[in-house]
Structure 1
Amino acid sequence: MLATLTTLAVVTHPGPWAAGFGWVFFLIPLFWFLVIGLIIFLVTRGRRRAWADGADGPPWARGGSAESTLSERFAKGDIDETEYRARLEVLRANRPNA
């Protein structure tokens, strides 16, 4: 008798999918895709803003010229005066509007 009642309860119980809210479970992955996408968007937006200010970022985004980069290297002591003057002469000789 108990086995019959248990079988009847299992067979006739509608379960979560038959209740009409089964489609809600498909929104869970969509929610996490949106959260991860928002995090990626905010991180890249912050980096772009920092690069636009010139504080950090790749050398081509800093907005400096070749002569200013050469001057900075000379000021830091990376190159000596003769190398600085030689490279500066090459840069000025190869200007597009010269």
Structure 2
Amino acid sequence: MHGPDGMWYGMGWGWIIGLVVLALIIWLIVRVTSQNAGASHQSQKTPMAILKERYASGEITKEEFEEKKKDLS
């Protein structure tokens, strides 16, 4: 099981496994932080954008939309 230089076979490749693990950890951190940034960006919608979404989804009527639109202006 020993190689010609006295090392175990495969020990020279151990650093590659470490690099792969490190890369996975970095990738996971980047992915989680980018998802959090996207979520906070979505929560910063303008009141008018929220009002338009509510109207488009049928949550409020045209009259309610026009009234609230005047309130926001």
| TM-score scaled by length of structure 2 | 0.48
Structure showing greater relative contact order (alpha-carbon pairs closer than 8 Å, 6 or more residues apart): 2
Larger radius of gyration: 1
| TM-score scaled by length of structure 1 | 0.38
